[in-house]
Amino acid sequence: MTDIHLEADETKSILYYALMSDIAGTYTLHTEAGYLEAGVYSFLQEITLDITVDKNALDIAGDIINALNGLSLSGGEESKRDKAVRYLNKVRDRAVESDKDIEKNIHDINKAIHSLIDIETVDISGIRLMMDELLKTWESRYYFFSS
C-alpha cells in the first residue's frame, strides 16, 4: 500500500512498474484505489490486468540466433552476422548472479546490434526488433535488480 498526502485542490498521480517473471505464463496485476477520511477507508475503483509473457529472455535470444543463422549472407556480412551470433550466445549462456552479469548481457546485446549495422543485402528489420525487445528485457532486469 502506498500513502500519499494531498493538499486542498492538489492532484497527484502514482506511477508504478511491474516487472514480470522471466517464466512464460499469464500474470494478473490487481490495482485498487481508495481514500482514507477520518479513519474510514472508502473504495473507489479496482483494475485487473492480465499480462502474458510468451517467452523468456533465453528463448528470445535463441529465436534471434536462429533467425540470424537463417540469413543467406556472404563475405563481410556473413562474418558480421557470425560476430553478432557469438555475442548473443554469450548472453544466452551467461549465468546471471549479479547486476554485473546483467550489464555484460546489455553490452553484448549492444555489440551484437552494432555488428549488424552494415548488413544491407537482406532485410533484418524484424530481427532488429527482436533484439530491441531482448535489450529492453535485460535493461528492465537491471533497473529492478536486487541481490
Which DSSP symbol is given to 55?
A: S
Q: How far is CA 49 from CA 1, 28, 32, 53, in A?
A: 18, 6, 12, 13
Q: Is the pLDDT of residue 145 over 90?
A: no
User: Exposed e or buried b for every residue in 81-119, given b needs 16+ CB within 10 A?
Assistant: beebbebbebbbeeebeeeebbebbbebbebbbebbeeb
Confidence class for position 5, pLDDT limits 50, 70, 90: confident
Q: Compute φ and ψ for 48, nearest 5 degrees.
A: -120, 130
Q: What is the pTM of this model?
A: 0.78
Please give the pLDDT value at position 68.
Answer: 98
Overall average pLDDT of the 52-67 stretch: 94
Place of cell 493538499: 7
* Domain parsing of the chain, residue ranges: 57-143
How confident is the model over 83-115, as pLDDT tens digits?
999 999 999 999 999 999 999 999 999 999 999
* pLDDT tens string 8-53: 999 988 888 788 888 889 999 999 988 888 999 999 999 999 999 8
